[in-house]
Structure 1
């Protein structure tokens, strides 16, 4: 019960090192109830400690996984993920944050995928220094293992959907002033291995960049510049050393009943001897009917990402989404953000104060008929072959989210994906059905 009370007061964030426990601290001081102050708790002079964690149980069943290309699971897959963290503050400047996670999977016919299982490894393990003043200009430095997430997670995300989240070895410098926050970082992804304390820094991939955000009244902006390197990158053209820069901007905000989240990115660089010229555009525009029961929000998402026009030339036109969220288009996570054009109408309704219903219809086409279709991790699902069909798939889904109690949530999702002409012509013609039931407790 003490944990539930704490969860009700603490503002829990997707990245747990960003949790805001100020409200809980004030409530504890006002009530003089030291037993309930288990977050931001004084342990010595000038030393404070917070603890917390996550528990998630997830069951999913896929009929004809990857449109019949993967081995069929007999009874579905049961996944569980647990994490615990400690946040130690030393005075006004220093901080140490450690988070351990364990992810286990049972029932996958072909064995656990790379994002299914990791018995025990740190997802965050860093030291941070920051200037003392709050409410004014502040600078800070964070070094060590850390999860990264920027903007809407279209380019860099901690990958909440899959059973194993994504971490980086990184050095991150940040500055905040007024409405602005600027982050500069150098990072390498951690390679997920299924044992205990055996994850390691990638020796072939590296990411560096600057990401700036300005929060405004009507419109807020993200502007970023990223440089990505992969010594053994693979595309339809073959395998080569990839050096790619990305320039992007995101516009997001709300006014009256309208809200929007639009993002544009352009990419250049070199893939072996070939030039890189790629781009992507993603929009999410919604309208909330405030005077209607359930306050339904109708939204239209339109997105397009370039594909390679000619695998035999000296130019690579395929976009690289770098490290996006795993369930980029939906919980069934079958298609990834490369060489596509999609139209995605969606509807959300508040059935009760703690119950949200969401439904969507997603229609996919290939942007280039000379390139294939890809999974969320960037791996090729089907090459173009001799097919010149554009239509890839139609995916209909409905989901229910129930916030049962402070810290507790449950989600149920059902989806049906019908392959289009391209998948059928390249040998992936089975319709896919997906069910997901999950429960999570965060404290």
Structure 2
């Protein structure tokens, strides 16, 4: 795999779009670039026998970041910053009209973190996808299928189930997933357990404590499209401020997204119920993203306002748990600094995006972050408690400003630079997390 990388880098990438989950790529469309002497495209949808076709590809990502006062001074300072590498290669084998096998190996390495590598930093070599799929002969207008094995899952905006692109180690599940497509509708039903990431080679295992089951339906078309879903999550060793107990949680949600003229929107509402030990679960969340694009202005700037809220627990000593469980959300939920997670919060987040050229996009945002409930603490994206509620009655957590630029110099190549500054609010200062956090990150990625 590694010996072939220099040759692949020398070739242009296929012109067809690469998808976040590479098994969703349209390999036959990518192969059309083979006629233009694109050597990597010639390895897409390549016939190798009667009714057998092979596709080969991968992802290479290099990332440097330096964080001043990690986690607002609660973690040791990195001396020179952190260097991260993630490389993956995949093979897709199509047999006849119905059968398919997909295998993707990924290697992730991190150096320089003073606090030591976290579970999302280091994974020497393990499969992120390894599954067999059966599907009906044609799915242009409809069809059914089933996928069994190790696989990445991502639904909607990634607020609840996401492959976790931001961190160095992506998230996979051992799952059985069935789907049906009919006209504007797609319905997925699945039963899954997350893979526990370990730093060695071929040592990741299925979680023995967590399971996820659900139905997710999407209807696209018209000005507004819809997602509706029902999920059941179970964790035999769930941990909250109330303690450690068996958690059984239902999530019912809906998302409306679309655009009309210069406006676009992406709104999602969910409610949760169930049991945490002997306590009843009552939690909810609302996330909104509303934007307006000035098409007649140079750079086509998009102004957006994101407002979101997630419930927290009011009293850890009562018989009710009010803390939202976001399940398996995207890693950098509120930004590249990735310090705060979507539990017990209320935030207002204005943002601006504009194109300086066809290849360069600029993004700027300002995030104001509060606690929803003063009886609950503040959490990291992983769900770990950063600061407990203690005796503080303060709500304001932090102000986070960020400026980023993305450059796509050629098909397959992308690069980004982000500068962020986070000033702790009253609550974090009272919890002794009183140092301002700064971040500089540089990322280069190649897909083929």
- The TM-score by the shorter chain falls in which range? over 0.9
Give distance in 2, aligned partners of 1:131 and 1:231: 37
Give distance in 2, aligned partners of 1:386 and 1:279: 25
* Alignment partner of 1:285 out of 280, 287, 290: 290
What TM-score, normalized to structure 2? 0.97
SS in 2 for 1:22: helix
Partner of 2:337: 332
Structure 1 position 354, deviation (Å): 0.2
Is the alpha carbon distance of 1:33 and 1:418 closer, same or farther for their aligned partners in structure 2, counting shifts above 3 Å? Answer: closer
Alignment of 1:29-428 (within 5 A): 37-428=42-433
Give distance in 2, aligned partners of 1:385 and 1:141: 48
Structure 1 position 159, deviation (Å): 0.1
Is the alpha carbon distance of 1:27 and 1:82 closer, same or farther for their aligned partners in structure 2, counting shifts above 3 Å? Answer: closer
Contact 1:395 1:417 in 2 (8 A): yes
Residue by residue over 1:234-257, the C-alpha shift from the partner in whole angstroms, topping out at 9 and shown as x without a partner, is 000000000000000000000010
Q: In the alignment, is residue 9 of structure 1 matched against residue 15 of structure 2? A: yes
Residue by residue over 1:103-136, the C-alpha shift from the partner in whole angstroms, topping out at 9 and shown as x without a partner, is 0011011211110000000000000000102323
Unaligned runs of 5+ in 2: 1-6
Give distance in 2, aligned partners of 1:34 and 1:362: 44
SS in 2 for 1:8: coil
Give distance in 2, aligned partners of 1:33 and 1:323: 38
Partner of 2:3: none
Is the alpha carbon distance of 1:75 and 1:145 closer, same or farther for their aligned partners in structure 2, counting shifts above 3 Å? Answer: same
SS in 2 for 1:7: coil
Give distance in 2, aligned partners of 1:63 and 1:25: 45
Structure 1 position 10, deviation (Å): 2.8
Residue by residue over 1:302-329, the C-alpha shift from the partner in whole angstroms, topping out at 9 and shown as x without a partner, is 0000000111100000000000000000
Contact 1:9 1:21 in 2 (8 A): no
Contact 1:4 1:406 in 2 (8 A): no
Contact 1:137 1:175 in 2 (8 A): yes
Structure 1 position 27, deviation (Å): 4.8
Structure 1 position 196, deviation (Å): 0.1
Give distance in 2, aligned partners of 1:426 and 1:2: 50
Give distance in 2, aligned partners of 1:110 and 1:426: 20
Give distance in 2, aligned partners of 1:221 and 1:4: 42
Give distance in 2, aligned partners of 1:292 and 1:33: 36
Structure 1 position 25, deviation (Å): 3.2
Structure 1 position 77, deviation (Å): 0.3
Aligned residues: 442
Structure 1 position 22, deviation (Å): 2.8
Structure 1 position 31, deviation (Å): 6.9
Q: CA RMSD in A?
A: 1.4
SS in 2 for 1:405: coil
